[in-house]
Chain A
Amino acid sequence: MIKLTVNGHEHMLNAEPDTPLLYVLRDQLALNGAKFGCGLGQCGACTVMLNGEAVFSCLTPLLLAAGKNVTTVEGLGTERSPGPMQRAFIEEQAAQCGYCIAGMMMRAQALLRKNPSPSDADIRTAMQPNLCRCGSHMRIMRAIKRAAALMKTADAGTGGRASP
């Protein structure tokens, strides 16, 4: 049994230590926000946060996540009460097909944790590992800047406060 904390909830999992974290999240915990894209750590659709750092869950064996705090897009807020990152993406309508967006939000969340006021260059550098095939990059850029602004306002606290 391997202990895993996801979005603040503890789980005891019966899985092999080399099982990719992504499979555990989707298949065992029914958290389907993180997506399987390439399975090679080259597209970023599977990005989640591990102790606050953005990681590719498709290449992260359960062994490396054990005992750490995993945050998925579900941990950033709910449909009724979206967190500031999610609100920003909705308000900017940053998704087209949406497949990459959960990963985008998680990497952006990890960026804003460390750097609450990133420059455009900071955002571009940090987001480099995540690809969007629809080409909504400019909206994604705007959404991340909006999220940074939202997080500094008083009403940002209604959602998305899962521990990193």
Chain B
Amino acid sequence: MVLSRLIGLVVLLVVLVSGSFGVFAWHSAIPAIDPPQASSFEPELVRRGAALASIGNCNTCHTRDNGPSFAGGLRIPTQFGSIFTTNITPDAETGIGRWSEAAFARAMHEGIDREGRHLYPAFPYDHFTHITGEDIRALYAYFMTRQPVRAETPPNDLRFPLNLRFMIAGWKLLFFRQGVFQPDSQHDAAWNRGAYFVEGLSHCSSCHTPRNWLGAEQRDQRYSGGEAEGWTAYALNASSPSPVPWDQDALLHYLRYGWHAAHGIARGPLAPVIGNLGALSDDDLSAIATYIADIAGPPSPERAQRGRAILNRTTATAAGAASTNGDSIASTTTMTTTGDESDGAAIFAASCAPCHESGRAMPYGGIDLARSTGPNGPTARNLINVVLWGLPPSNGQRSPIMPGFMDVMSDDQLRALLIYVRQRFGDGPAWTNIDRDIRDARSDKFDVGIYPAPSSDPAFGVVSEREVR
């Protein structure tokens, strides 16, 4: 008797819970509209939306390689399978042409599409939920006035049960906190402006925060480093591996021009992000730098001193004074013993030193690697990507380049070089998993994102490469 009652209770509970989950998970469609005329939007609103879309980096994901802007189709590899980005041009059949502003706002704020389906959080609505209604309106105006492109989004290729969209409702219950950005009165206007962009539209922590096994950002480890497109996204907080600690001025210069003499050149997926930040005013960019500098916090006295020492030690090469090339090679020759390590030194001397120890000024001269986060990072991945593919030239504008060595170096030779560079320029234990990282980079596991450096020539302005292609 007691048992059957218990069973009844459990059944009732299951029905109630799944019922209320169903209610939570179910969303109605928002009625389709006829695609609005481009002329129905205020030009000023569209212009603001253009800048916001740029800051949100929308083009990078919603454009496949060499494809039309915003027509989607880019494969996003995840640990759960592949997701393809959607067409966000106002095409009535394959894009968002039939979406009302309310439907667009719901997608941005709640991660639900016009027809009421949950969107995968590869679309960073966990950040876009912070965007104000006013900015959503401008973004909507911008996208609805783009050239409509007919492009079906390829079907996602996700493993069961994640291919079932109602599972996302559970994910949201666990990890998604909806709500427009609320200013923090403890901080000034610039900090809050920066926080609004960084936490919302710019969604910086999507890459710079580690994710848990369900792909959600780990809130207790915000900005302690994550990954993107086969690259390690370095920690931005106190655990930053940068040899020279970042400060607000360096951040502002780096985010504006894509390089800084004490830190190097933006590469990988950060390069187009910085290109896109060209749409920001100096004031807004400065606000972002303020906020990120606060995330980093002031460095410990030891770190600050080490940074100064590295800068002083490497100023000779950076300023073009007597090259330390001969000395450093000599000193490392005594250090190396095995054949592998001397191979690394020889490769470095012939392939890397001509630029990285030339004394030519940044950004067209290579950075002294003692200043670079690459050899000091938690993994060898970024160095592997850069050595294999280099920095390709940018189309139609001046930008720093680096040749890739994909076709010249075997895995063994690359490993020897990495070990040598880590030992000589890095401050940390030997990297583990070098072999796995080399294998992954050369395979199609990540679709490693290779981008030209942001144009550093102010005469050209800053143009996103994916836009010009």
Give me the interface of A with B, judged by CB distance under 8 Å. 16-20, 39-42, 50-51, 53-56, 58-64, 128-129
Contact = CB atoms under 8 A, between A and B. Distances in A.
B354 interface: yes
20 contacts: A16-B346, A17-B343, A18-B346, A18-B347, A18-B350, A40-B354, A40-B358, A41-B402, A51-B407, A54-B407, A55-B407, A59-B351, A60-B350, A60-B351, A61-B350, A61-B351, A63-B413, A64-B408, A64-B409, A64-B413
A56 B403 contact: yes
A40 to B, nearest CB: 5
B310 interface: no
Given A40-B354, A59-B350, A129 B403 contact: yes
Interface in B389-413: 392-393, 401-403, 405, 407-409, 413
B407 A19 contact: no
Interface in B283-304: none
Contacts of A17: 342-343, 346
Contacts of A61: 346-347, 349-351
Contacts of A18: 345-347, 349-350
Nearest to B400: A42
- Most chain A beta carbons < 10 A, residue from B354, B392, B402: B354
Contacts of A55: 407-408
Interface in B267-290: none
Given A53-B408, A61-B349, 6 more contacts: A18-B349, A50-B407, A50-B408, A59-B351, A61-B351, A64-B351
Interface of B: 342-343, 345-347, 349-351, 354-355, 358, 392-393, 401-403, 405, 407-409, 413
Contacts of A60: 350-351, 408
Contact of A40 (B355, B393, B407): B355
Contacts of B409: 64
Given A18-B349, A42-B401, A128-B393, A63 B355 contact: no
A59 B343 contact: no
Nearest to A38: B354
Contacts of A16: 346
Given A39-B354, A64-B408, A128-B393, A59 B403 contact: yes
A53 B347 contact: no
Nearest to A56: B403
Nearest to B345: A18
